[in-house]
Structure 1
């Protein structure tokens, strides 16, 4: 470590210690030396301070701007490397297609063993015809090891930028263009992307849950790397599912020796097959390069997770491998490498240290216990508020997923339960950290030539290659192989690869389409049987109701007949009363009209008689 780095480490440690002392003084002042409340605040701050900072940083993130005059172009500056151990699976063909659509200068596909090599050839030939401007190279190692496969490809890379991608990832139409913008900064050596799990339709509830768990797993990673990269440029890892790196880093004299022979725990275990992306991330940081995360819709890398059979064993095996990687790599970054202490002080707290203590089942239980025993818990409502806060914080990192897939909101309780169950996975991974197998993939079943290791096979293969055409290269099989220069076996292997691909398609069709339909039809049949039984009961009840109704009607008729005399009298009285009322009404109307018909003339009052005139008589009233 250089002197400047040592000085940076010292300054960062002083700042960290000052922050700890400050929080200690504040907590002592607040708690009045109550032990339970003090440790509750310590644990609460340790757990949630980084969440608050990450949330602020997440919304302050800005992707790399589009340059006016780009320095790098996919057609001349990018080589894509695809290591695969399952080329017959349909996802590999889709991966190859989505990569070729970006128009990189070269695509290198590395398999393991001659059988997989021959299965890959038909796909490469098809791609060559469709994309004649891309140079395709296909080769294989004699060991099922991703690191050896990538190392074999490095010697064939002659472009400035290399993109490493798994055989089950899919890019959008502007993916490479967006990723290359980050390299306009000359100190950026490694670029990560926005990871997203493909959500499959038509799945049953059990499969939907595991697919959701896989999607939220990567969604949480997206949140963390976008936030921490905004704060101090650090990340816990740049995922190897898809990453872009400067080729000069891969071809550094120290890169491949450590990459293909990485050991851990004082050199007692190894060499490692997994953790390849963690090695790349640490190597880039250690050599002074910066890391950039491109997080936008154009830089989305879609992958498949949580749908491969058997569902729970496959996904849980992947979780164990990832958590073992966390234990190995994070301790290596803190203790062995130590560069992060100088260059990424925030990530030391928010990524490396907290990842070693983040057991949700333990920390949440301790928080509830300490709070319940402290004087701050004045009522059950206060404890309920703390539980509500815990649940709310668990939605922050996965909010984007449930926003895009609102129909999965009812599955949120399963996400919370898995978060607590993951604590036990993490504990088990700690006790088995030396297990460096690639759990989740049956690499031991891949047919390779055990007589040759990956490196010697790579060396001999690099000097013997044949060409399909001017734009593609295919390394020839080992001369000792039975298929070397055979006039028919190569074609038979190609046919076998096509048949294997058909088998894979059939399996996917059965699992993804037919099986869910069959399950739904069986459930529908059971519902209809129950419905038919219910309709039979309804019919029986209707017959009973009809019989009872007929008896009631008959009884009513008998009662009505017995009361006929009384009914006639009542009806006669009613009619008589109505007739009298009608007469009364007519008389009343006649009387009213008679009174209204009297007309009294309006005459002026009589004036006094004049002299000699007789008095006027009374006026007549005519009716």
Structure 2
């Protein structure tokens, strides 16, 4: 073992390599924090070009919603809601959602429920987008809750005529009375992602992707040119139909045609959402990792012009793709340090050595903890879960590797599939809608 390690590492000890690795990664994290601190949201105009109650339609897709959907819609209407909310669902639950919509909107003024021919989020969103009659539409998940000023502040981004899409940031709200570890990990992930997106928006104006939870788009960009048909019928490697990553696909449709995108992060736009509150959250992580792999590979090799246009964002993509390598290398170095100390026969107990191993493992995740500083400042009690986050960061690297090896798997993974004859209409595409 010593000979093998010495051949690989030469004269450098594993500890020196690990510390150097962490120092370089920490510099990137600090650069992201600097970009986050310098970030400025778009100001709301005194005389805005777009008014939410006249110029915005919300499109949401749902198949297995519960009573919280009514609460979500109620928040979308607070403080000047959209002109219309289009709820797109499947045949099996259409009547149920119609009844719910009539309870919320008895006069049928602002909620419209329509059916898609398949219980597929992309198909459902495309069906809703095709029905939009306003200049701006917003896609929203059925489990997001908006603050009162979200729409006016989100519309402020479109005062810039070059911006084709805008997104927001947010956090997690617990499903039950008390937080679970999984929900806090989900909150950490969203906080880290917000720092990364704000930093890239500050440094070079790019964002890796608009969020599927809530984002706004210019309707004109999705008219004609077969864009909705491509959105629905996208296939990975020309073979495997993709049904998730709707936000990534809509982002690609905008950015590859030269339009800018932006993240509007301010207290007025910080939405909250729910995540799985048990181990099944990891299934969501697997799906997100697959989505990010596909998007990053396409951004680098299918639309490389945009990668050169946003170099800081591109470096962030590459770092994300190197997560599996980082996790594996860190594990090898830490275990080698532990092995080296054992072979030296240092007069310490095994418990002491194990404690040193744990401390070293925690120390190596400092670059992943730095982006959480703004979140921990607001939620200091979440610091108790930093060890869980450190462990998850190791696991996430291996999850990312697994996701890379299973990119052909394109199923949703965490949504209940409704068994209904309408699903058999797989051959139907957007031309027939």
Task: Flag whether TM exceeds 0.5 (same fold).
Answer: yes
Task: State which of 153, 159, 172 in structure 2 corresponds to 1:184.
Answer: 159
Task: State which of 312, 333, 341 in structure 1 corresponds to 2:279.
Answer: 312
Note the alpha carbon deviations across 1:440-461, whole angstroms, 9 max, x for none: 1122x3434245348469946x
Q: Which has the higher helix share?
A: 1
Cα 1:386/1:86, change in 2 over 3 Å: closer
The reply on whether 1:417 has 2:384 as its aligned counterpart is: no
Note the alpha carbon deviations across 1:63-118, whole angstroms, 9 max, x for none: 1112121111001110100111123x0121112222233321111110012x2110
Note the alpha carbon deviations across 1:184-222, whole angstroms, 9 max, x for none: 11101111101211135633xxx6111111111211111
Cα 1:278/1:456, change in 2 over 3 Å: closer
Q: Which moved more, 1:364-373 or 1:353-362?
A: 364-373
2-structure distance, mates of 1:363, 1:196: 31
Task: State which of 417, 420, 425 in structure 2 corresponds to 1:447.
Answer: 420
How many aligned positions are there? 406
3-state SS of the aligned residue for 2:115?
Answer: strand
CA contact (8 A) 2:232 2:429 kept: no
Q: 1:504 matched to which residue of 2?
A: none
2-structure distance, mates of 1:277, 1:457: 18
Task: State which of 29, 49, 55 in structure 2 corresponds to 1:51.
Answer: 29
Cα 1:383/1:450, change in 2 over 3 Å: closer
Q: 1:85 matched to which residue of 2?
A: 63
Deviation at 1:341, TM superposition (A): 2.5
The reply on whether 1:428 has 2:405 as its aligned counterpart is: no
Q: 2:307 matched to which residue of 1?
A: 341
5+ residue gaps, structure 2, are 1-9, 341-352
The reply on whether 1:272 has 2:242 as its aligned counterpart is: yes
Q: 1:358 matched to which residue of 2?
A: 323
Cα 1:388/1:164, change in 2 over 3 Å: closer
Cα 1:108/1:438, change in 2 over 3 Å: same
Higher CA-based Rg = 1
3-state SS of the aligned residue for 1:79?
Answer: strand
2-structure distance, mates of 1:390, 1:402: 19
Deviation at 1:169, TM superposition (A): 0.5
CA contact (8 A) 1:274 1:437 kept: yes
Deviation at 1:408, TM superposition (A): 3.1
| Structure possessing the higher relative contact order (Cα contacts under 8 Å, 6 or more residues apart) | 2
Alignment of 1:493-512 (within 5 A): none
Alignment of 1:134-149 (within 5 A): 134-149=109-124
The reply on whether 1:164 has 2:139 as its aligned counterpart is: yes
CA contact (8 A) 1:141 1:457 kept: no
3-state SS of the aligned residue for 1:248?
Answer: helix
Deviation at 1:339, TM superposition (A): 2.8
1-structure distance, mates of 2:429, 2:167: 32
Cα 1:383/1:423, change in 2 over 3 Å: closer
Cα 1:300/1:223, change in 2 over 3 Å: same
Q: 2:344 matched to which residue of 1?
A: none
Note the alpha carbon deviations across 1:283-329, whole angstroms, 9 max, x for none: 2111111111111110011110132xxx212x111111011112211
3-state SS of the aligned residue for 1:316?
Answer: helix
Alignment of 1:116-127 (within 5 A): 116-127=93-104
2-structure distance, mates of 1:371, 1:348: 33
CA contact (8 A) 2:58 2:82 kept: yes
The reply on whether 1:295 has 2:261 as its aligned counterpart is: no
The reply on whether 1:406 has 2:380 as its aligned counterpart is: yes
5+ residue gaps, structure 1, are 1-32, 374-379, 461-623
2-structure distance, mates of 1:392, 1:457: 47
Task: State which of 297, 300, 307 in structure 2 corresponds to 1:331.
Answer: 297
Task: State which of 220, 226, 250 in structure 2 corresponds to 1:248.
Answer: 220
CA contact (8 A) 2:146 2:272 kept: yes
3-state SS of the aligned residue for 2:180?
Answer: helix
The reply on whether 1:199 has 2:174 as its aligned counterpart is: yes
Deviation at 1:228, TM superposition (A): 1.1
Note the alpha carbon deviations across 1:327-386, whole angstroms, 9 max, x for none: 211111111221332211111112x2111111353243356589999xxxxxx9x99997
1-structure distance, mates of 2:421, 2:39: 46
Cα 1:395/1:42, change in 2 over 3 Å: closer
2-structure distance, mates of 1:334, 1:361: 23
3-state SS of the aligned residue for 2:142?
Answer: coil
2-structure distance, mates of 1:451, 1:388: 50
3-state SS of the aligned residue for 1:72?
Answer: coil
CA contact (8 A) 1:163 1:242 kept: yes
3-state SS of the aligned residue for 1:449?
Answer: helix
RMSD: 2.9
2-structure distance, mates of 1:421, 1:245: 35
3-state SS of the aligned residue for 1:397?
Answer: helix
Cα 1:98/1:333, change in 2 over 3 Å: same
Q: 1:571 matched to which residue of 2?
A: none
Q: Which moved more, 1:207-216 or 1:37-46?
A: 37-46
The reply on whether 1:69 has 2:47 as its aligned counterpart is: yes
Cα 1:384/1:277, change in 2 over 3 Å: closer
Q: 1:568 matched to which residue of 2?
A: none
2-structure distance, mates of 1:386, 1:324: 30
Alignment of 1:441-590 (within 5 A): 441-443=415-417, 445-453=418-426, 455=428, 459=432
3-state SS of the aligned residue for 2:242?
Answer: coil
